[in-house]
A and B are shown apart, each in its own frame.
Chain A
């Protein structure tokens, strides 16, 4: 393209040359190759319904929307896992703010809480995923770097202490701040929840959590039909879709109806205490007011709702 127009010969209109034909043909081949390369997506798209793709955020759903969505999810669970389940949506109780305490003098590290969590929350069986990780620590040290969650020997061992860790439902949760789509938020009874159908799977919340509390569904959860817990909550233990985040929900499908969480019921030692922090006569208040209590990583300013205490 010269800018000296006066000496230029008369311009010609472009012709449809052989080169252009080749370019168009190559372009078509390229487009076909691209479609072929992306073919696996078609089978994935087949598992999604239009309604699911367009589903609004939980906070924007009306009661009819919710019922329709729950019925659809129940039907999908039946289709994909062969089990009949009921999905409910218990609302936060009035004047309740949950607190949970764990007695480090009593915990024997048996992992029954993790096993109960695994079963209650319909976790993927092959990975033995659970929200709770139990650390075996030296009694003389609080440093997690010297602890292990991988022990398999009989417990408890003399001179060692056991500390289960799950989501602390922080007062100032870093995970809630960083989520780009507000898929996770803190409800007014203190539980930090996730709308699994809204999560985009960016895993920023998992990077932000200082307690390794959040889990990602790297694959579609595999749960045998007869092991599925059919008593499910929309925001808690329904079987999560692939590639979304999940975490401990303080068993809100149980606790919002006044029941104890599954991990507490499973603890043979009675090391766990759960209740309403706003009730001055609750067991959890007694523990906080009368026992030596601490929280993990207090210097982070996350203000956990999960407290550890000692008997002595």
Chain B
């Protein structure tokens, strides 16, 4: 890898910043054969997704299996989930900055980059769900008609873009300072880091409010929805980070220290139980009360009037979450990496089901007038979803590819802060 001349302190930013960006591109595209194979495969999937979306826009949303009864499906289910991952990515920030855990600093940037990739995915999931993406400019305040503060979608647009900007700034600033071989000035990132902790909570609260404010959808119209979202976000985020850290250890020169993983597992032990407890609370309220307002819950868990397409999904999700919870509490989880990775993947998938297909779709079944129309995603929807996940993984891999050399080269510097 060719090394550039260290930028002199007198180089103005408008020269060194483009050089920095070029450096990022070079770093992100340098790697082993395995790396290229991985990125090519992801690109291919992303292209398939893009093509499927182009067909969807041209022929209409009839290519999906959404209907006037179930008008949100796989796209919004994934949107809900990845916003949670974006919020959960900030979990590592809390112990690092609030509890001044020095060793956590090394891996904080991985969490923030996860947030960036996840927010980009969330925005893409919204765009592909729009019937008229060509009318997108109608959302821009000042030029369009932005319905703030009444529409929760308007709030979501603000908080998601703000969160993206925050994380891009934090990561970008730290990396840029490393590139310039300068000490990062705490004034330029520490307040933003604290802001990002609060903001992470807000993005997922606002996303929950999208659903919980609708009186016509009794399954969602619960005060517990926002806390449930946050609890499951703080399971999914750390779970993914643990898997990512292990992947880094396996495929790069970066060696993950035991300490950050131990902190994440400790967090997971709390949040996975909290998530299960909230589920229990929801189940009790629905099934003890009974009545028509609980028809969606009955459909989801037991089937309704002969319709039971989602029943295997939700019970698999609960099974995965319970198994993962048990696994996290086993003492040997710390030493047994495959067990830990398995438990993390299990709970990641379990929450994807529970929050995605297991929340968005049953909210529409039965419909507002108590009709039951079921939903299974179409091939086009699966392709587009796979394409966006591939894109997200592309972004995250590229981001890690950039961040790892930075951190391995300067971990000492950060510790001296």
Interface residues of A (CB under 8 A from B): 1-3, 5, 8, 11-15, 17, 19, 23, 30, 33-34, 36-41, 43-45, 48, 53, 57, 133, 135, 143-145, 147, 149, 165, 174, 177-183, 198-204, 206-212, 214-220, 241-244, 297, 300-301
Contacts and interface: CB of A to CB of B under 8 A. Distances in A.
A287 to B, nearest CB: 23
B51 A37 contact: yes
Nearest to B218: A210
A40 B55 contact: yes
A14 B2 contact: yes
27 contacts: A1-B406, A3-B181, A11-B3, A34-B50, A36-B51, A37-B54, A38-B50, A38-B54, A39-B51, A40-B58, A179-B147, A181-B139, A181-B147, A183-B138, A183-B145, A200-B133, A200-B139, A202-B126, A203-B72, A203-B129, A207-B217, A209-B368, A210-B216, A212-B69, A242-B60, A243-B131, A300-B215
Contacts, number: 197
Contacts of A215: 68
Given A11-B3, A211-B368, A220 B50 contact: no
Interface class of chain A by DSSP: loop
B5 A13 contact: yes
B145 A181 contact: yes
A182 B413 contact: no
B56 to A, nearest CB: 9
Contacts of B58: 40-41, 43-44
B366 interface: yes
B68 A206 contact: yes
A1 B179 CA distance: 9
A39 B53 CA distance: 11
Contacts of A43: 58
B324 interface: no
B60 A178 contact: no
- Listed residue (B6, B132, B215) with the most chain A CB atoms within 10 angstroms of its CB: B132
A181 B146 contact: yes
A218 B138 contact: no
Contacts of A181: 135, 138-139, 144-147
Nearest to B66: A218
Contacts of A41: 54, 57-58
A181 B43 CA distance: 33
A84 to B, nearest CB: 25
Contacts of B214: 174, 178, 207-208
Contact of A12 (B3, B29, B157): B3
Contacts of B366: 145
A169 B150 CA distance: 19
Contacts of B370: 143-145, 147
Contacts of B126: 202
Contacts of B217: 207
User: Which 5 pairs show the lowest CB-CB distances between chains A and B?
Assistant: A201-B131, A210-B216, A243-B131, A180-B153, A37-B51
A3 B151 contact: no
A30 B217 CA distance: 44
Contacts of B60: 217-220, 242-243
B417 interface: no
Contact of B369 (A19, A144, A244): A144
B37 interface: no
A133 B138 contact: no
Contacts of A202: 126, 129-131, 153
Given A207-B71, A242-B60, A200 B215 contact: no
B152 to A, nearest CB: 7
A18 B395 CA distance: 25
A232 B80 CA distance: 40
B152 A178 contact: yes
Contacts of B130: 200-202
Contact of A216 (B50, B131, B178, B371): B131
Contacts of A204: 151, 153, 210
B151 A180 contact: yes
B306 to A, nearest CB: 14
Given A198-B135, A200-B135, A216-B71, A3 B216 contact: no
Nearest to A213: B368
Given A37-B51, A44-B57, A182-B145, A208 B138 contact: no
Contacts of B363: 207
B132 A243 contact: yes
Contacts of B151: 177-180, 204
Contacts of B18: none
- Listed residue (B145, B210, B409) with the most chain A CB atoms within 10 angstroms of its CB: B145
- Listed residue (B131, B144, B178, B215) with the most chain A CB atoms within 10 angstroms of its CB: B131
A38 B48 CA distance: 10
A218 B61 contact: yes
A135 B47 contact: no
B139 to A, nearest CB: 6
B188 interface: no
Given A13-B5, A178-B151, A212-B68, 12 more contacts: A5-B6, A12-B3, A34-B47, A34-B50, A37-B47, A38-B54, A39-B54, A40-B57, A44-B57, A174-B216, A202-B130, A297-B216
A11 B181 CA distance: 15
Interface string B29-45: 11000000000000100
Contacts of B71: 203, 206-207, 216
